[in-house]
Chains A and B, each alone.
Chain A
Amino acid sequence: MNGWIFILVCLTILIWAALCLVYDKRPRFLRPVTAITILCIWVAALWTLIRRFTEGLGAVTGMNDNAPWGLWIGVDVFAGVALAAGGFVIAATVHIFRIKRFEPILRPTVLTAFLGYILVAVALFIDIGRPLSWWHPLVMWQEHSIMFEVTWCVILYSTVLAIEISPVVLERLGLTTLLRLVKTITIPVVIAGVILSTMHQSSLGSLYLIVPEKLYPLWYSPLLPVFHLLSAVAAGMCVIIVESFFSSKILRRGLESSLMADLGRAASIILFLYLVIKLADLAVRGSWVLILEQNLQSNLFLLEMLGGVVLPAILLSFRRVRKLPRGLLAASTLVMMGIVLNRINICWFGMSVSDQLHYIPTWMEIAVSLGSITAGIIVFFLAVHYLPVFPKTEEELPGAVSPLPNAA
């Protein structure tokens, strides 16, 4: 119980801190309070991890024999991978489709994706029962398993991201020969990254193809891989918007608002596409009637679809909303929360028998998730501080930076 109060307090403070940034209010105690909160979360997470590695998963998580996958898989891995999808979208935009306008946000986006995948890898290391055997999939092959394919794609794609982000470090260290080498292989590497991402983003959905009678029919569909890929692309773009917004606030730099508006528009189109396919799929399989059931699953499904897809898709389709940084931010946050809810629904509520939940997460699981997210954010800003991630001066981007957003 005390643990839950602790989590609630921490969450409230973090949300308050984010809102302060959004509304340009910077009370003097903002920094110390946030820092202390994050430290407390880390201590709790560390303590949880020590117990997890000494006693076992059952000692700290709510997972059990009837619910083998919990929040760490649903949020840290499934949602984490989806939210990091922006990396391959922007890399493809710049390097394959050669739309050079997006170059200013390429590096921060790839950095976000890279850190995201590191967090996913850490989460997997914590969550798999026998962490010391993490390397087994590399030498023990079972090509019939979707999990095998996902594992390989994630490992290879993390390597791709490391190569894509390496110029930042190489530039800083002044290693020009290596830098030139990386530049020459960039396009093939980016293409490999796009293929690998398409494969594992969709395959995370395919993981559930094997449980047609276990996953609630509102989510089970032969099209799961398509849904996972589309939603990840949309959410990945929204993460870029949110990330750019907050870095513009924290680093006190301009916001590439025309690029953000374009991203918002693209996300809206993809969300509508997702919605159409989803509705068609529900109609064809006849499972749409379950929406009217008014049980736990149908309510969560409605929340996810209306709040995370329909509403932001409509909001983002208005030019007026896209012009306002805060409007963009709000809609993008909705999309992000929608996709997190979707992954939680699939891995938790959708796999439970109607109203009987086999699994309730513990506060310690949430502490670890929060700890890893905050660690990711802090490492991001440290990297931005010490490495040439953002373009040096704003004059380098004529037309891209508008002075308006901070005043809005």
Chain B
Amino acid sequence: MTKNQHMTDTSAFNRRRFLQGMAGATGLSVISPSSLNAHLPAHAETPSVLVDVTRCIGCRSCMRACKNANDLPNDTDLSKGFPHSWDRQELRFDQWTVVNPATGCNADGTEVTRNVKTQCMQCLDPTCVSVCLVGALTKSELGPILYDADRCIGCRYCMMACPFDIPKFEWKGGMSPVIGKCQMCTRKRLAEGRIPGCVESCPTGALKFGQRDTLLFEARARIKTRPERYLNHIYGEKEAGGTAWLYMSDVPFESLGFKSDLETAPMPPLTWEVLNKIPMVAAAMAGLFGTLAWSLNRRESLDSQESPDNQETPE
């Protein structure tokens, strides 16, 4: 990625969506399945992060860095439970990434504990963007998925639909709660050519930022050179159509609590395939019912002309 690309103003993108909305409002919008993705960078170039679960020591530096980078309240005691194990932390609308110890099971049955970082996976074909009815969630020109509270109506369909259960809601937010999720520091850091806060803070190199194809290449290389250390599975390469966050591990992902029942096909077509048939069905119904009502109506008026006092047939 060149610096120039990083500089691309994301607000230009939002403006375009707004204009699209206006065009739609005037009946000009062309509904096409590709219009959501047409302007996006090729998946291979998407800014991505490779997480090496075997290298993570669970220091939670990234959690703190995330809060600082995004001006989120940094008041939770993240080291509670020390030195045995951290207390579990959950994603919240104001806590966009967590690292939790997870006990998994190796192929030979031995129990091992690994530290797993969780945040929005930045899907290549994001479900949340496809379900958000007002376009509050959008895929930015840089790649990551952004949230715009000024558009959001708080319907929480994104939370229901996200295959990784990432978006969180401000439940005590009165009249104007927000959805919170990792946006890969796009507005504040990527746009200035800096890498995400969490990656910058990681002391062990468990997180690595780069272009997606480069990281995939690197992950494959690591697997090839150390086959005894890594499983031959890069989580996120194919899951839910592929994600920008990629994970490698020595313990099967499923036993560490990663979702393992996801299809490799992107999810948005599941609804789009129904949705795009609606205009056709509606037109067919209009034609059918129109003809029916018209012809029955006509027959009625003919009948009533013949026998004016017998307009209604009782049975």
User: Which chain A residues have a beta carbon within 8 Å of chain B's beta carbons?
Assistant: 53-59, 63-66, 68-69, 92, 95-98, 100-101, 128-134, 136-149, 151, 187-188, 190-192, 194-195, 198-199, 203, 206-207, 209-214, 225, 351, 398-399
Whether A57 pairs with B177 at a CB distance below 8 angstroms is yes
A210 touching B153 in the complex, CB below 8 Å, given contacts A130-B177, A142-B132? no
Q: B283-301: contact bitstring with A at CB < 8 Å (1 yes, 0 no)? A: 0011001101110110010
Whether B290 pairs with A53 at a CB distance below 8 angstroms is no
* Residue B88, interface by CB 8 Å: no
Whether B130 pairs with A144 at a CB distance below 8 angstroms is yes
Q: B255-295: contact bitstring with A at CB < 8 Å (1 yes, 0 no)? A: 00001011100011011101100100110011001101110
What is the bound-complex CA distance between A228 and B241, given in angstroms?
Answer: 28
Whether B275 pairs with A149 at a CB distance below 8 angstroms is yes
Q: How far is the CB of A220 from chain B (nearest CB, A)?
A: 11
Q: Which residues of chain A have C-beta atoms less than 8 A from B297's C-beta?
A: 98, 187
Q: Which residues of chain A have C-beta atoms less than 8 A from B294's C-beta?
A: 187
Q: How far is the CB of A234 from chain B (nearest CB, A)?
A: 19
Q: Which residues of chain A have C-beta atoms less than 8 A from B286's C-beta?
A: 191-192, 195
Q: Which residues of chain A have C-beta atoms less than 8 A from B275's C-beta?
A: 143-144, 146, 149, 206
Whether B174 pairs with A54 at a CB distance below 8 angstroms is yes
What is the bound-complex CA distance between A191 and B159, given in angstroms?
Answer: 35
What is the bound-complex CA distance between A344 and B20, given in angstroms?
Answer: 36
Contact of B177 among A64, A96, A129, A140 (CB under 8 A): A129
Q: Which residues of chain A have C-beta atoms less than 8 A from B261's C-beta?
A: 213
User: B interface, how many residues as a size bin?
Assistant: 35 or more
Contacts of B147-183 to chain A: CB distance below 8 A: 151-157, 159-161, 163, 165, 168-177
What is the bound-complex CA distance between A112 and B31, given in angstroms?
Answer: 35
What is the bound-complex CA distance between A138 and B155, given in angstroms?
Answer: 15
Whether B21 pairs with A129 at a CB distance below 8 angstroms is no
Q: Which residues of chain A have C-beta atoms less than 8 A from B134's C-beta?
A: 133, 136-137, 140, 142, 148
User: Which chain B residues have a beta carbon within 8 Å of chain A's beta carbons?
Assistant: 18, 20-22, 24-25, 29, 31, 33, 36, 90-92, 127, 130-135, 151-157, 159-161, 163, 165, 168-177, 259, 261-263, 267-268, 270-272, 274-275, 278, 281-282, 285-286, 289-290, 292-294, 296-297, 300, 312-315
What is the bound-complex CA distance between A96 and B290, given in angstroms?
Answer: 8
A141 touching B127 in the complex, CB below 8 Å, given contacts A98-B293, A130-B175, A195-B282? no
Whether B155 pairs with A132 at a CB distance below 8 angstroms is no
| Residue from A92, A131, A132, A210 with most neighbouring chain B CB atoms (10 Å) | A210
Identity of the chain A residue whose Cβ is nearest the Cβ of B176 in the assembled complex: A130
Whether B263 pairs with A140 at a CB distance below 8 angstroms is no
Q: Which residues of chain A have C-beta atoms less than 8 A from B153's C-beta?
A: 128-130, 133-134, 136-137
Q: How far is the CB of A253 from chain B (nearest CB, A)?
A: 20
Q: How far is the CB of A254 from chain B (nearest CB, A)?
A: 17
Contact of A213 among B18, B20, B168, B259 (CB under 8 A): B259
Contact of B171 among A64, A143, A194, A195 (CB under 8 A): A64
Q: Which residues of chain A have C-beta atoms less than 8 A from B271's C-beta?
A: 144-146, 206-207, 209-210
What is the bound-complex CA distance between A344 and B30, given in angstroms?
Answer: 36
Q: How far is the CB of B6 from chain A (nearest CB, A)?
A: 27
Whether A199 pairs with B169 at a CB distance below 8 angstroms is no
Q: How far is the CB of B271 from chain A (nearest CB, A)?
A: 5
A141 touching B25 in the complex, CB below 8 Å, given contacts A56-B171, A97-B292, A187-B297? yes
Q: Which residues of chain A have C-beta atoms less than 8 A from B24's C-beta?
A: 141, 143
What is the bound-complex CA distance between A291 and B289, given in angstroms?
Answer: 40
Q: Which residues of chain B have C-beta atoms less than 8 A from A134's C-beta?
A: 153
What is the bound-complex CA distance between A151 and B290, given in angstroms?
Answer: 25
Q: How far is the CB of B127 from chain A (nearest CB, A)?
A: 6
Q: How far is the CB of B272 from chain A (nearest CB, A)?
A: 6
Identity of the chain B residue whose Cβ is nearest the Cβ of A205 in the assembled complex: B274
Q: How far is the CB of B109 from chain A (nearest CB, A)?
A: 24
Identity of the chain A residue whose Cβ is nearest the Cβ of B168 in the assembled complex: A65
Q: Which residues of chain A have C-beta atoms less than 8 A from B173's C-beta?
A: 56-58, 129
Q: Which residues of chain B have C-beta atoms less than 8 A from A132's C-beta?
A: 175-176
Whether A144 pairs with B314 at a CB distance below 8 angstroms is no
Whether A56 pairs with B177 at a CB distance below 8 angstroms is yes
Whether A187 pairs with B293 at a CB distance below 8 angstroms is yes
Whether A65 pairs with B169 at a CB distance below 8 angstroms is yes
Nearest first, the 7 closest Cβ-Cβ pairs linking A and B are A129-B154, A58-B171, A141-B24, A148-B133, A68-B159, A68-B156, A147-B133
Whether B176 pairs with A63 at a CB distance below 8 angstroms is no
Contact of A98 among B263, B268, B296 (CB under 8 A): B296
What is the bound-complex CA distance between A369 and B172, given in angstroms?
Answer: 21
Q: Which residues of chain B have C-beta atoms less than 8 A from A58's C-beta?
A: 171-173
Q: How far is the CB of B281 from chain A (nearest CB, A)?
A: 8
Identity of the chain A residue whose Cβ is nearest the Cβ of B154 in the assembled complex: A129
Q: Which residues of chain B have C-beta atoms less than 8 A from A55's C-beta?
A: 172, 174
What is the bound-complex CA distance between A142 and B12, given in angstroms?
Answer: 18
Whether B170 pairs with A56 at a CB distance below 8 angstroms is yes
Identity of the chain A residue whose Cβ is nearest the Cβ of B165 in the assembled complex: A66
Whether A210 pairs with B127 at a CB distance below 8 angstroms is yes
Identity of the chain A residue whose Cβ is nearest the Cβ of B314 in the assembled complex: A399
Q: Which residues of chain A have C-beta atoms less than 8 A from B21's C-beta?
A: 139-142
Q: Which residues of chain A have C-beta atoms less than 8 A from B172's C-beta?
A: 55-56, 58-59
A149 touching B168 in the complex, CB below 8 Å, given contacts A144-B130, A211-B160, A212-B270? no
Q: Which residues of chain B have C-beta atoms less than 8 A from A198's C-beta?
A: 281, 285
Identity of the chain A residue whose Cβ is nearest the Cβ of B155 in the assembled complex: A128
Q: A55-B172, A58-B173, A143-B29 are in contact. List 18 more A-B contacts (CB 8 A).
A: A129-B154, A130-B176, A133-B152, A141-B29, A144-B268, A145-B271, A147-B132, A149-B275, A190-B293, A191-B285, A194-B285, A199-B278, A206-B271, A210-B131, A210-B271, A211-B161, A212-B263, A225-B274
